[in-house]
Amino acid sequence: MNVEPVDEAAGGPPSPPGSSLSTRLSTCLSTYGGAGLARRGAQRGRRLLSQAKHWRDPMIVEIGYRAVLQRPPDPWGRRDFLARFRSGNFSVEQFGRELLESPEFERVRATRDLVRSLHHSRCAFVRSLPPARRILDLGGTNLEHEDGAMVTMGYPYSFEELVIVDLPPDERHPLYNRGGVRSDTTSRLGRVTYAYHSMEDLSAYPDESFDLVYSGQSIEHVPLGVADKVLAGAFRVLRPGGKLAIDTPNARVTRLQQAQFIDPDHKHEYTPEELEDKLARAGFDIVERKGLNLGLRTVETGRFDQAEVAENVGVFSLPGSCYLLAYICRKA
């Protein structure tokens, strides 16, 4: 198992003196697991550890793996964790955090739900985007958080301003009309400004005024002709050398999933060839062709395999075989 080292001081409540191993590990699982599967893992761990007061290290490792990763420990992982426990410098809390923050647990958690898996992949793509001083995010409202989608999905760099363009709530599809109108705010990365209008019309923004334009799951919500105007507007407002990042469903895969569009508000879902042609005609050079959630078997057989697509969470180099297209383009 590949787990990243965790600094114990990074967070989480200390175990109360005299607490049982059962309480300590189940509390750790509840605290660090996040939603859904992690809570269920914590509940399962609590049941399995109910008699753990006198358990020794091998049983802790066994139950931790089964509760969190849903498998027995591999020989390497068992040896590594047992050696660290026996050193006297490794706690049950650290053990729980390392399992829950491991890439393997991310896959276990994501693959239960295709939507969750796609979200994890999109977060990875957002984290890969370049640093930028001024950012224009087309359709980037987060219905749950005022900082917007890019910040909450993990964009890592500070910025001077992030401008989020979105439709007024009463003009959105009913799926997306909750949340109201957001107020401008200051996030941990920089100032976040909201502008409520169609992304078809970017005339309010001066030429060459942004370093990065991000269109995350938005270009498919407008008709083909409008998409051309969106891309032309993005090209105009970018500085020379500025980047356009775009992720959108790959019709080559989504049409295998179902005959109709995967979202009732979608106006067009693009094949890689269609999207690349549009980007080139708008004047962009594509510098990175990536895809999110790989479906090699799905494409090869012509049969949509949801388990395969959900399991292959992440960013891949074969966009045509992925559920989502994810491109980074440059304004020459």
pLDDT by residue (tens digit) across 22-53? Answer: 444 444 444 444 444 445 555 555 554 444 43
Least confident residue range of 37-46, 57-66, 218-227: 37-46
**Mean pLDDT of the residues in the chain:** 84
Return the biggest CA–CA distance within the chain.
69
Least confident residue range of 2-6, 132-136, 138-142: 2-6
For residues 137 and 178, the model is more confident at: 137
Which candidate, 40, 199, 237, 34, places its Cα nearest to that of 123? 34
Contact call for residues 96 and 30 (beta carbons, < 8 A):
no
Q: List domains and CATH numbers for the chain.
A: 8-109 (no CATH), 113-331 (3.40.50.150)
Query: What average pLDDT does the segment 178-189 reach?
Result: 89
Which candidate, 34, 103, 105, places its Cα nearest to that of 67? 105
Contact call for residues 45 and 39 (beta carbons, < 8 A):
no
